[in-house]
């Protein structure tokens, strides 16, 4: 069952020849020494082992063992706990593809043994519906997550297939055949309440060359939007089941479900540009990124239903901004990038990666945020879905293994190729095999320093197209020792023709002050500080003793300066001069002009306040934090 059609080991390799193609995961090696390479190493050394440990201690593995008489423990965890195992396996699979690593083989062997022993003769496999709810398979598709779990099993199996191991793929294919029989054309017309299976089935079709899997994914997409799921606790919009996909023009409901669905729809469009989903994809992309996206790249403004809100409903302190939603958005933007080629999709991948995704993981790689607010108030009442510090696991533990699988495969999202060019989308120190035996060595310290040096050990066999981020105004490009020239991007990419041996790209990493659209009521009268692609925050840990974060007011025109390097956090900090303390507040409400709370021109300045990258907050002690900073 080795790959029959696509032998490029990477997520989302389109079947249509007109699309951009990801480079093989093995064609890019990160060296470390910069943020992305060090993060991938931390993922391998800390996050994946931590996930394996917690799968044991939280009962996920015992849920399988009890079904074969090897444990007498009660079922533990949510009904979709199997998916945490599958995501962790996918992370290990991509590590095996990328590095040939065998260090996790004992765990993989045990997991595959258990899954094989638990799987029923007709292919069904689900520790919840074979355990405490045996005999109830496929009876609660809106809430049961059965096909969602299968989707993650399929994606893990695909990763291992590219690594040369097919036992997990054989197991997944048996279950998929059952789903064809049960939910294929002419069979049941209901669907899973949590999209994910769609993109997995398209990937499976690409791997095996079997078009039935893609057509099953298409059927599931076309069935959605006809109000077959019902209202449930949160309404049909929660499940994206109010409007047929081809008619949808607004992102609604549960943010992760919406974005996973759009990733699957984009996969269908990638493989068949005549599918008819283009208008939906474009309309929803603009709706999400122009009306419902947090400045950090987070998505989902409502805790109730983990959902999108109305346009411009983006409260900083009540942001749900689930880690998995930011990861799903990266997956969707990646597919949009392969389809359309415009740099705005890579810009959004970068925004999310260095802010809404990076914030979820602690410096040591072993604790995580589930939701990611842009403000935490002094005295915040700690709760699991809005904690004041990262937790080492969650009852709903979807985010940590999702992070693990993304980081183990992140090199696949750096570059693509077409017949005449290789495109570089995200920059990190390492080596890229360009073809014809030519290797490009990239050196950079992005996102902290914008110099990108590319040296080739032979003439470039194809043109190189280098993304010029929207934040890098004034970028310059020097080729083969020539004078730097202003980069002139087309669709956000500067082209260097074939034959080049060395390139120096300068992306100015400057600090800028941003304001929100006037309809974002929650951010009115505030500013955000961005340095390159990274957003900064004030944290109570950096304030003078006795000063409460809510009392800090920035000047009307703040001008942050370099504040040096923080070794413990591994990031550059900023110094913000001119901030003052609010006057003492009086009544909760008062007549205008009386204890209004605004900083007064005569208030003493507080000296230089230290701002840190948002993604590093809560690594020292619990406390207040905010990204949107009030001005006088």
**Which of 489, 506, 523 is a domain's end point?**
506
CATH of the domain at 98: 1.50.10
Residues 235 and 311 grouped into a single domain = yes
Buried b (16+ CB within 10 A) or exposed e, 84-108: bbbbbbbbbbbbbbbeebeebeebb
Q: How far apart are CA 501 and CA 440, in angstroms?
A: 9
Residues 421 and 563 grouped into a single domain = no
Any domain includes 483: yes
CATH of the domain at 445: 2.60.40
Residues 270 and 200 grouped into a single domain = yes
Any domain includes 16: no
Range of the domain at 599: 511-630
Any domain includes 588: yes
How many whole angstroms from its chain centre is CA 430? 22
DSSP labels, 472-483: -TT-EEEETTPP
Joined together, the tokens standing for residue 160 give 């291992």
What is residue 603's predicted lDDT score, i.e. its pLDDT? 63
**What is the count of structural domains for the chain?**
3
Question: Scanning the structure block, which residue is given the tokens 């360009």?
Answer: 434
Any domain includes 295: yes
What is residue 591's predicted lDDT score, i.e. its pLDDT? 85
Question: Scanning the structure block, which residue is given the tokens 């005295």?
Answer: 379
CA neighbours closer than 13 Å in the CB half-sphere of residue 330: 31
Cβ-based neighbours of 405, under 8 Å, separated by 6 or more = 87, 88, 90, 91, 94, 155
Joined together, the tokens standing for residue 295 give 């400045």
CA neighbours closer than 13 Å in the CB half-sphere of residue 618: 28
**Residues 23/91/400/285 CA torsion (nearest 10 deg):** 30
Question: Scanning the structure block, which residue is given the tokens 């062997």?
Answer: 109
Strand partners, 564: none
Residues 561 and 501 grouped into a single domain = no
Give the number of other CB atoms < 10 A from CB of residue 121: 6
Contact 203, 270 (CB under 8 A): no
Contact 554, 630 (CB under 8 A): yes
Give the containing element (helix H, strand E) for 349: helix 343-351
Residues 439 and 543 grouped into a single domain = no
Any domain includes 9: no
Any domain includes 3: no
* pTM of the predicted protein model: 0.96
Residues 38 and 92 grouped into a single domain = yes
Contact 499, 458 (CB under 8 A): no
DSSP labels, 536-593: EEEEGGGSPTT--GGGEEB-SS---EEEEEETTTTEEEEEE-S-EEPPPP-SSS--TT
Q: Distance from first CA to last CA of the chain, Å, rounded? A: 65
Any domain includes 11: no
The pairing of strands 609-613 and 571-576 is antiparallel
**Which of 413, 438, 453 is a domain's end point?**
413
Residues 332 and 480 grouped into a single domain = no
Residues 311 and 460 grouped into a single domain = no
Cβ-based neighbours of 610, under 8 Å, separated by 6 or more = 538, 542, 563, 573, 574, 575, 576
Q: How far apart are CA 173 and CA 154, in angstroms?
A: 8
What is residue 600's predicted lDDT score, i.e. its pLDDT? 53
59-66 long-range contacts, CB within 8 A, separation 24+? 60/84, 60/85, 61/85, 61/110, 61/111, 61/114, 63/127, 63/128, 63/131, 64/114, 64/115, 64/118, 64/127, 65/114, 66/131
Q: How far apart are CA 404 and CA 156, in angstroms?
A: 12
Residues 448 and 405 grouped into a single domain = no
Joined together, the tokens standing for residue 373 give 């607010």
Low-confidence ranges of the chain (pLDDT < 70): 1-6, 382-386, 593-604
Contact 372, 324 (CB under 8 A): no
Strand partners, 631: 554
Question: Scanning the structure block, which residue is given the tokens 């994606």?
Answer: 155
Residues 534 and 405 grouped into a single domain = no
What is residue 569's predicted lDDT score, i.e. its pLDDT? 97
Any domain includes 1: no
**Which of 490, 506, 522 is a domain's end point?**
506
Residues 32 and 83 grouped into a single domain = yes
Rg from Cα positions in the chain: 25
Residues 226 and 325 grouped into a single domain = yes
Contact 156, 89 (CB under 8 A): yes
Q: How far apart are CA 152 and CA 149, in angstroms?
A: 5
């Amino acid at each position: 069952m080795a790959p029959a059609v696509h032998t490029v080991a990477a997520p989302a390799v389109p079947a249509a020849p007109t699309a951009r193609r990801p480079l093989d995961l093995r064609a890019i090696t990160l060296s470390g020494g910069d943020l992305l390479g060090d993060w991938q190493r931390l993922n391998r050394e800390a996050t994946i082992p931590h996930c394996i440990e917690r799968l044991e201690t939280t009962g996920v593995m015992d849920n399988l063992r009890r079904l074969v008489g090897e444990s007498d423990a009660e079922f533990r965890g949510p009904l979709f706990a199997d998916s945490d195992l599958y995501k962790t396996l996918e992370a290990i699979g991509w590590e095996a593809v990328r590095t040939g690593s065998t260090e996790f083989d004992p765990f993989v062997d045990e997991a595959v043994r258990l899954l094989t022993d638990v799987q029923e003769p007709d292919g069904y496999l689900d520790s919840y519906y074979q355990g405490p709810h045996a005999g109830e398979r496929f009876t609660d598709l809106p809430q049961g997550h059965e096909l969602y779990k299968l989707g993650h099993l399929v994606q893990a199996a695909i990763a291992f297939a590219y690594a040369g191991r097919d036992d997990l793929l054989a197991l997944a294919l048996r279950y998929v055949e059952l789903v064809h029989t049960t939910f294929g054309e002419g069979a049941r017309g209901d669907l899973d309440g949590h999209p994910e299976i769609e993109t997995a089935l398209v990937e499976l079709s690409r791997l095996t060359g079997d078009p039935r899997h893609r057509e099953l994914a298409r059927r599931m997409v076309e069935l959605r939007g006809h109000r077959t799921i019902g209202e449930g606790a949160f309404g049909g919009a929660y499940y994206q089941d109010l409007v047929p996909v081809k008619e949808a023009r607004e992102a609604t409901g549960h943010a992760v479900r919406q974005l996973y669905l759009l990733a699957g729809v984009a996969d269908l469009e990638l493989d068949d540009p005549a599918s008819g989903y283009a208008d939906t994809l474009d309309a929803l992309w603009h709706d999400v990124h122009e009306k419902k996206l947090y400045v950090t790249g987070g998505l989902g403004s409502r805790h109730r239903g983990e959902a999108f809100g109305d346009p411009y409903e983006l409260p900083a302190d009540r942001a749900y901004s689930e880690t998995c939603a930011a990861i799903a958005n990266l997956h969707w933007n990646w597919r949009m990038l392969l389809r359309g080629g415009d740099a705005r999709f890579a810009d959004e991948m970068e925004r999310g990666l260095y802010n809404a995704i990076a914030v979820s993981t602690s410096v040591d790689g072993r604790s995580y945020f589930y939701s990611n607010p842009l403000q935490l108030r002094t005295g915040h009442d700690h709760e699991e879905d809005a904690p004041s510090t990262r937790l080492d696991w969650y009852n709903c533990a979807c985010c940590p293994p999702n992070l693990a699988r993304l980081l183990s495969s992140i090199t696949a999202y750096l570059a693509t190729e077409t017949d005449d060019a290789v495109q570089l989308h995200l920059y990190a120190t390492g080596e890229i095999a360009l073809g014809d035996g030519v290797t490009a060595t990239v050196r950079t310290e992005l996102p902290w320093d914008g110099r990108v040096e590319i040296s080739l050990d032979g003439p470039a066999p194809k043109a190189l197209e280098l993304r010029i981020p929207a934040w890098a105004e004034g970028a310059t490009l020097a080729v083969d020792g020539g004078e730097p020239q202003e980069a002139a991007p087309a669709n956000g990419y500067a082209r260097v023709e074939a034959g080049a041996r060395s390139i120096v790209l300068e992306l100015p990493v400057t600090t800028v002050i941003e304001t929100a659209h006037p309809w974002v009521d929650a951010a009115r009268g505030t500013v955000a500080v961005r340095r390159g692609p990274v957003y900064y925050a004030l944290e109570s840990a950096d304030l003078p003793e006795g000063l409460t974060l809510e009392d800090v007011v920035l000047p009307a025109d703040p001008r942050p300066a370099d504040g040096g390097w923080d070794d413990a956090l591994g990031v550059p900090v900023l110094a913000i001069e001119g901030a003052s303390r609010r006057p003492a507040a009086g009544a909760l409400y008062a007549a205008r002009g009386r204890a209004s709370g605004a900083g007064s021109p005569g208030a003493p300045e507080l000296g230089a306040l230290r701002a840190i990258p948002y993604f590093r907050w809560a690594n020292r002690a619990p406390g207040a934090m905010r990204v949107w900073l009030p001005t006088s």
